[in-house]
Structure 1
């Protein structure tokens, strides 16, 4: 089981705070630093000093870290056109020496679209656009050097593209898809994803969705063993109940609720929860860290949980 750090900067974070977390995660031995791709806070928080752009952040981190992998859970397909997004991700991959991963989804948060003037189509159209974006992005990256790429699409037609620049990672940076949709999500994952991620889901719900994606892989003749299977869970770990309660209070949550729905408790409890996800096939956990000032939290989990996996 690999552990990765996952942040939600729209809740209120500066680039310097994110850099401190990324460097701490790298030094502690985590596999990756990921961040959400949102422009508006959620819940009863101010969101100050304001949002940071996901790919601008990752470009900076690419030059200020050396080992840790970098990515998004999940870039919203509604935010960016596929051609420019393929260029951006390829460039950040070059800047990082080949450490970038692209998590991408339909986009779901209507309020952030209206807050910043971005169109928000109905769900069916968002899925259509996501599927076409995936075709364009992977097509641009996989076109051999010196050849041209065309795509006959409804939303994103491409004509005579030189398909440059190329990412460092070949055949491409890993693509993550995820979510709980029962039909189109598994089909898209089977066709395009290198990793399938299920956020904030119970063990039974995770097992059911993993089975749907495995079935979709079988339908197109893909070996499900080619896919990486992962979860994202909120983290709240402490050496004892008092430390767990303090960390839960810092993020406005209750310890019992976090134990039921997240990755929470003492290191022994956290290890037990990780074991239950591993039993149903999860290979990677994204630890959602909400208090970015508490770097000791990351260090504790690295020494008392990750070291024992």
Structure 2
């Protein structure tokens, strides 16, 4: 079971804060540091000092870490043109020595688009499908060849399809709970399928849909990695769990139901239930980025048992 750290910087984090979390992620032996891709806070937090850009952040971390994988859950397709995104990700992959993964989603948070003047198209999912075809097509184009694409939303002509990533294949992550189009898109393009903040039962149903969609197009479902992202609130005792829950404005009972909360033993047991469904990777959503002791506890008493 791979354990990864997943952050939500739009809720309030500077680059320096993210760097400290990424370095702790590496020091404590986690597999990867991931971040969301949002430009506006959610809920009652003040969000200070303001948003950081996902790929600029990852570019910096690429030069200041040496082992951990780096990526997004999920890059918003509404924020970037696919040709530009292919260049950005390839460059950060080269800067990291081949440690980047691209999570790509359709984009959903209309308020952040309004706040920063970003178009919010109605046809987000069809655009996402074209974006995936373009980004992967550019990377797969052989050196010396060109790439063209004539879609409903994007057109590319005779692109040199450069630069290339350092990796022969940048892993592509897709996710969500859409019952039809999401599994079909994952079966076609994804190396990993991620389910965010869902129960064991809902995860089981969606993993099965993705496996069925892969089988339908002749792809071996076991080629995909299946993963879950869940909020973390782990404590050595009930008081520590309660303190961590209060720090992120959540209730302990709700976190136990919907996340990875409680003692290390409780969290290991719940991870086991996701593992029984075929999940081999868990993203711990860390909401209090000042609490690096939380990461150390998860590493020493949860990760050590997995």
Q: Same fold (TM over 0.5)?
A: yes
How far the C-alpha of 1:102 sits from its partner, in A, is 0.2
Q: How many corresponding residue pairs?
A: 306
How far the C-alpha of 1:152 sits from its partner, in A, is 1.3
Which of 156, 159, 163 is the matching residue for 2:157? 159
Q: SS state of the match for residue 305, structure 1?
A: helix
2:245 is the counterpart of 1:248:
yes
Normalising by structure 2, we get a TM-score of: 1.00
Q: Which residue of 2 aligns with 1:286?
A: 283
Name the CA distance, whole Å, in 2 between partners of 1:187 and 1:280. Answer: 19
Q: Which residue of 2 aligns with 1:141?
A: 139
Name the CA distance, whole Å, in 2 between partners of 1:35 and 1:181. Answer: 22
Q: SS state of the match for residue 196, structure 1?
A: strand
2:177 is the counterpart of 1:180:
yes
Which of 247, 255, 258 is the matching residue for 1:258? 255
Q: Which residue of 2 aligns with 1:110?
A: 110
- Residue deviations 1:44-88 (CA, integer Å, cap 9, x gap): 011110000000000000000000000000000000000000000
How far the C-alpha of 1:154 sits from its partner, in A, is 1.4
- Residue deviations 1:227-247 (CA, integer Å, cap 9, x gap): 000000000000000000000
- Residue deviations 1:195-220 (CA, integer Å, cap 9, x gap): 00000000000000001111100110
Q: SS state of the match for residue 18, structure 1?
A: helix
Name the CA distance, whole Å, in 1 between partners of 2:190 and 2:183. Answer: 10
Name the CA distance, whole Å, in 2 between partners of 1:152 and 1:119. Answer: 21
Name the CA distance, whole Å, in 2 between partners of 1:94 and 1:137. Answer: 16
Which of 290, 298, 301 is the matching residue for 2:298? 301
Q: Which residue of 1 aligns with 2:12?
A: 12
Q: Which residue of 2 aligns with 1:101?
A: 101
Q: SS state of the match for residue 51, structure 1?
A: coil
Which of 253, 265, 278 is the matching residue for 1:268? 265
How far the C-alpha of 1:121 sits from its partner, in A, is 1.5
Name the CA distance, whole Å, in 2 between partners of 1:307 and 1:193. Answer: 29
Q: SS state of the match for residue 253, structure 1?
A: coil
Moved over 3 A (4+): none
2:218 is the counterpart of 1:207:
no
Name the CA distance, whole Å, in 2 between partners of 1:97 and 1:194. Answer: 20
Q: Which residue of 1 aligns with 2:68?
A: 68
Name the CA distance, whole Å, in 2 between partners of 1:201 and 1:184. Answer: 18
Normalising by structure 1, we get a TM-score of: 0.99
Q: SS state of the match for residue 107, structure 2?
A: coil
Structure 1 residue runs of 5 or longer lacking an equivalent are none
Q: Which residue of 2 aligns with 1:218?
A: 215
Name the CA distance, whole Å, in 2 between partners of 1:183 and 1:277. Answer: 22
Name the CA distance, whole Å, in 1 between partners of 2:79 and 2:121. Answer: 12
